[in-house]
């Protein structure tokens, strides 16, 4: 199952896109998970029903890391940590794994994170801890907080209710608030994560009439700071998508520093090659005090490497285990034919204009003679 990467023009779509920027081929079955690296440019993670995780350099169209032997069952979700040095995964075998993708090794894992048979989720928090949702043996929904350095027992474990919808966590690292949206639920519950017991503090519940089929989460840069908006969701109904806006009421019109600490900006802290060589960097932060002003988009340019180029010295594990998988050739005969057709039409138009100019010139001369 190939992945296709598309680029939306800076001012939005004016024509339908028909050709992806690059096609990434490497998975043998359907791909259900994709996640961009939080700090490195053009680094993309994908996971599929083949139980494999592949990390791509989209700028060259290559699969440089292939983790195909770490999961024996379906992968439910994958999450990068704050600087993108580690990933955590939740899978159908009830395990949560913490993986160093560049070393291709499991750093920590926990069996039976939640003992229930239904799907679970796991995400990294800004401080390096892991937050999970799942089900107990009695089918009660649970949430838990874990220290990846010691996963014998959770830092906190809370029972929720007996609904059977999978809890999807959405995390705001700036305020340490986690929003839980259950599939089929008509509510969003939110919690604050702190260093003080009970560590996971219930804040409130947003309720609506209709159940949600899915949920999207707006990046912090897209919020309206003038209205003290702290979160915006996009709730998927059967026939529509509904925005849900959450605000904190404040009397003052001044910028609320406590609600909007500096947040991760769109600019990458590392190039893809630097990350694959072992470098790490925290996200580059920006202030939202005057609102987010988007800069000029950098176009994604895919540069295929020459297969005759010599590789750098040093037998890295990733080089030995994973032969790069080339993306589909970007050249397309249909595009070439379309280009030739357009060029012919342009030439025909130029010839027509030239003939019309000659005819107009002759008519003007005849009119001048008649006038004389």
Query: What is the mean pLDDT, run by run of 10 residues, along the chain of 372 residues?
Result: 89 88 94 97 96 96 95 97 98 97 97 95 98 96 97 96 94 97 94 96 94 94 93 94 94 87 95 96 94 70 55 43 43 64 80 82 81 70
Distance CA 223, CA 219 (A): 7
Neighbours of 188 (CB within 10 A): 23
Residues forming a β-bridge with 202: 191
pLDDT of residue 9: 84
User: Within 13 Å and on the Cβ side, how many CA atoms surround 69?
Assistant: 5
Dihedral sign (CA 88, 79, 129, 64): positive
> What pLDDT sits at residue 202?
96
Are 80 and 122 a contacting pair, CB within 8 Å?
A: no
CB 94 within 8 A of CB 74: no
Contact 111, 92 (CB under 8 A): no
53: nearest Cα among 93, 108, 122, 99: 99
Position 335 scores a pLDDT of: 64
Number of residues in the chain:
372
Cβ(101)–Cβ(57) below 8 Å: no
pLDDT of residue 279: 97
Convert the chain into a string of H (helix), E (strand) and C (coil). CCEEECCCCCCCCCCCCCCCCEEECCCCCCEEEEEECCCECCEEEEEECCCCEEEEECCCCEEEEEECCCCCCCEEEEEECCCCCCEEEEECCCCEEEEECCCCEEEEEECCCCCCCCCCEEEECCCCCEEEEEECCCCCEEEEEEECCECCCCCEEEECCCCCCCEEEEEECCCCEEEEEECCCCEEEEEEECCCCCCEEEEEEEECCCCCCEEEECCHHHCCHHHCEEEEEEEECCCCEEEEEEECCCCCCCCCCCCCCCEECCCCCECHHHHHCCCCCCCCEECCCCCCCCCCCCCCCCCCCCCCCCCCCCCCHHHHHCCCECCCCCCCHHHHHHHHHHHHHHHHHHHHHHHHHHHHHHHHHHHHHHHC
Q: Is the pTM of this model over 0.85?
A: no
Q: Cα–Cα distance between 124 and 129 in angstroms, integer?
A: 6
Q: Minimal CA–CA distance to 163: which of 190, 145, 202, 136?
A: 136
Q: Is 249 exposed, middle or buried (0-12, 13-18, 19+ CB in 10 A)?
A: exposed
Residues 206, 185: Cα–Cα separation, whole Å: 11
> Quick count: other Cβ atoms within 10 Å of Cβ 261?
13
């Amino acid at each position: 199952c190939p992945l296709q990467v598309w680029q939306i023009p800076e001012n939005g779509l004016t024509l339908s896109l028909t050709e992806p920027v690059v096609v990434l081929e490497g998975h043998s079955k359907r791909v259900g998970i994709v996640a961009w690296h939080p700090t490195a440019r053009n680094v993309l993670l994908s996971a599929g029903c083949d139980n494999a995780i592949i990390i791509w350099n989209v700028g060259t169209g290559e699969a440089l890391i292939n983790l195909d032997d770490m999961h024996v069952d379906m992968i439910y979700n994958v999450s990068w940590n704050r600087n993108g040095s580690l990933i955590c995964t939740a899978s159908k075998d009830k395990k949560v794994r913490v993986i160093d993708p560049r070393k291709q090794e499991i750093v920590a894992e926990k069996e039976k994170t939640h003992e229930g048979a239904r799907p679970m989720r796991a995400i990294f928090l800004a401080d390096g801890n892991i937050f999970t949702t799942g089900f107990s043996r009695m089918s009660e929904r649970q949430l838990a907080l874990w220290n990846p350095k010691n996963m014998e027992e959770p830092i906190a474990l809370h029972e929720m209710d007996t609904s059977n919808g999978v809890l999807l966590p959405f995390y705001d690292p700036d305020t340490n608030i986690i929003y839980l949206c259950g599939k089929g639920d008509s509510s969003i519950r939110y919690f604050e994560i702190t260093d003080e017991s009970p560590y996971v503090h219930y804040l409130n519940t947003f309720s609506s009439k209709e159940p949600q089929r899915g949920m999207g989460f707006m990046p912090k840069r897209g919020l309206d700071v003038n209205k003290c908006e702290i979160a915006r969701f996009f709730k998927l109904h059967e026939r529509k998508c509904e925005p849900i806006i959450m605000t904190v009421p404040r009397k003052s019109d001044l910028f609320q520093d406590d609600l909007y600490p500096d947040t991760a900006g769109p600019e990458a802290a590392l190039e893809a090659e630097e990350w694959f060589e072992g470098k790490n960097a925290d996200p580059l932060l920006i202030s939202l005090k005057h609102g987010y002003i988007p800069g000029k988009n950098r176009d994604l340019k895919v540069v295929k490497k020459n297969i005759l180029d010599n590789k750098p010295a040093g037998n890295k594990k990733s080089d030995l285990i994973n032969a790069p998988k080339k993306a589909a050739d970007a050249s397309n005969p249909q595009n070439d034919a379309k280009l030739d057709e357009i060029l012919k039409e342009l030439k025909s138009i130029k010839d027509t204009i030239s003939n019309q100019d000659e005819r107009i010139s002759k008519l003007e001369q005849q009119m001048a003679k008649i006038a004389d």
